[in-house]
Amino acid sequence: MSATLEVIAAGPSLTVQDAGRPGLQRYGITQGGAMDAIAMAEGAALLGQDVALAAIEMAGFGGKFRARGAPLRIALTGAAMRARLDGQDQPWNTSLTLEPDTVLEIGAAEDGAYGYLHVGGGFATPEQIGSRSTHLRSAIGGLEGRALREGDRLPVGKDGGGRTGMVLPRGRRFGQREIRILWGAQADAFSQAERQRFLSCEFDMTTRRDRQGARLKPLGEPFHAESALTGVSDAVVLGDIQIPGDGLPVALLADRQPTGGYPRIATVISADLAALAQIPGHARFRFRLVSEEEALAALRANRREIAELSRQMRPLVRDPRDMGDLLAFNLVDGVISAREEETS
Amino acid sequence: MASQSSTDSIEGAYPEPVLRAAGDSALLIAFGDRLDPAINNAAIAFDARLREAAIAGVSETAPTIRSVLVRFDPLEIAPDRLRGTVAELLAERDWLSAPPPAERSLWRIPACYGGEHGPDLDEIADLVGCSPAQAAQRHAEARQRVFMLGFAPGVAYLGLLPEAWNIPRLKEVRPEMPAGSLLVAVRQTVLFAAAMPTGWRAIARTPFRSFDPRRDPPVLIAPGDEIGFTPVEAAEFARLTERAENGESIVTREDLA
CA dist., res. A323 & res. A319, Å (int): 7
* Residue A286 DSSP SS3: strand
Question: Hey, are the CB atoms on B69 and A184 less than 8 Å from each other?
Answer: no
Q: H or E element: which one contains B191?
A: strand B188-191
Interface A:B, Cβ pairs < 8 A: 138
Residue of chain A nearest B72, judged by CA positions: A23
* Largest CA-CA distance found in chain B, in angstroms, rounded: 59
Cβ within 8 Å of A, B 47-66: 47, 59-66
Strand order in the sheet with A166-167: A14-17, A55-59, A114-119, A72-78, A94-98, A166-167, A314-315
In DSSP terms, which residues pair with A77 in a beta bridge?
A: A116
Q: B257 pLDDT band (50/70/90 cuts)?
A: confident
The reported pLDDT for the residue numbered B196 is 83
In DSSP terms, which residues pair with A256 in a beta bridge?
A: none
The reported pLDDT for the residue numbered A228 is 60
Length of chain A: 344
CA dist., res. B40 & res. B44, Å (int): 6
The reported pLDDT for the residue numbered A1 is 55
Phi/psi at A266 (5° precision):
-150, 160
The reported pLDDT for the residue numbered A318 is 56
pLDDT at B75 over 50: yes
8 A C-beta contact, residue A73 and residue A31: no
Please report, rounded to a whole number, the percentage of residues in chain B having pLDDT higher than 90.
Answer: 82
CA dist., res. A19 & res. A89, Å (int): 30
Strand order in the sheet with A61-68: A88-89, A81-85, A103-109, A61-68, A4-10, A153-155
Contacts of B26 in chain A (CB under 8 A): 235, 237
Of A27, A230, A234, the CB nearest to B219: A27
Give per-residue pLDDT as tens, B196-220: 888 899 999 999 999 999 888 899 9
Burial of B206 (0-12, 13-18, 19+ CB in 10 A): buried
Question: Hey, are the CB atoms on A139 and B194 less than 8 Å from each other?
Answer: yes
Instruction: Please report, for residues A256, A268, B49, B69, B81, the alpha-carbon distance to residue B84 in angstroms, rounded to integers and kept in the order given.
Output: 29, 24, 15, 16, 5
Out of A64-68, A139-143, B168-172, B174-178, which region has the weakest mean confidence (pLDDT)? B168-172
Looking at per-residue pLDDT, the higher value among A100 and B5 belongs to A100
pLDDT at B3 over 70: no
CA dist., res. A108 & res. A91, Å (int): 14
Of B24, B33, B152, the CB nearest to A295: B24
Question: Hey, are the CB atoms on A26 and B26 less than 8 Å from each other?
Answer: no
Phi/psi at B216 (5° precision):
-130, 110
| ipTM field | 0.90
8 A C-beta contact, residue A110 and residue A140: no
The reported pLDDT for the residue numbered A245 is 84
B234 touches chain A (CB under 8 A): no
Task: Indicate the DSSP class of residue A103.
Answer: E
Task: From first to last of the 344 residues of chain A, give the pLDDT tens digit.
Answer: 589 999 999 999 999 999 999 999 999 999 999 999 999 999 999 999 999 999 999 999 999 999 999 999 999 999 999 999 988 999 999 999 999 989 999 999 999 999 999 999 999 999 999 999 999 988 999 999 999 999 999 999 999 999 999 999 999 999 999 999 999 999 999 999 999 999 999 999 999 999 999 999 999 999 998 866 556 889 999 999 999 888 999 999 999 999 988 899 999 999 999 999 999 999 999 999 999 999 999 999 999 999 999 999 999 975 454 444 444 444 443 343 333 333 32
Which of A130, A147, A234, A60 has the alpha carbon at shortest distance from B67?
Answer: A234
Q: What is the mean pLDDT of chain B?
A: 93
Cβ within 8 Å of A, B 71-90: 71, 74-75, 78-79
CA dist., res. A318 & res. B23, Å (int): 44
8 A C-beta contact, residue A53 and residue A44: yes
The reported pLDDT for the residue numbered B43 is 98
Which of B113, B183, B108 has the alpha carbon at shortest distance from B143?
Answer: B108
The reported pLDDT for the residue numbered A31 is 96
* Residue B256 DSSP SS3: strand
Task: Indicate the DSSP class of residue A131.
Answer: B
Of B21, B30, B75, the CB nearest to A299: B75
Q: What is the pTM of this model?
A: 0.91
Question: Hey, are the CB atoms on B22 and A235 less than 8 Å from each other?
Answer: yes
Q: H or E element: which one contains B140?
A: helix B132-141
CA dist., res. A214 & res. B247, Å (int): 36
Q: Establish how many alpha carbons lie within 13 A of residue B78's alpha carbon, considering only the half-sphere containing its beta carbon.
A: 7
Question: Hey, are the CB atoms on A296 and B74 less than 8 Å from each other?
Answer: yes
Give per-residue pLDDT as tens, A39-87: 999 999 999 999 999 999 999 999 999 999 999 999 999 999 999 998 8
Contacts of B25 in chain A (CB under 8 A): 237, 270
Instruction: Please report, for residues B145, B222, B229, B256, the alpha-carbon distance to residue B158 in angstroms, rounded to integers and kept in the order given.
Output: 5, 11, 12, 17
DSSP track, B204-219: EE-S--SB-TTSSSSB
pLDDT at B60 over 50: yes
Instruction: Please report, for residues A276, B10, B29, B30, B46, the alpha-carbon distance to residue B14 in angstroms, rounded to integers and kept in the order given.
Output: 35, 9, 11, 8, 15
Taking the CA of residue A3 and the nearest CA in chain B, the distance in Å comes to 27
Q: H or E element: which one contains A88?
A: strand A88-89
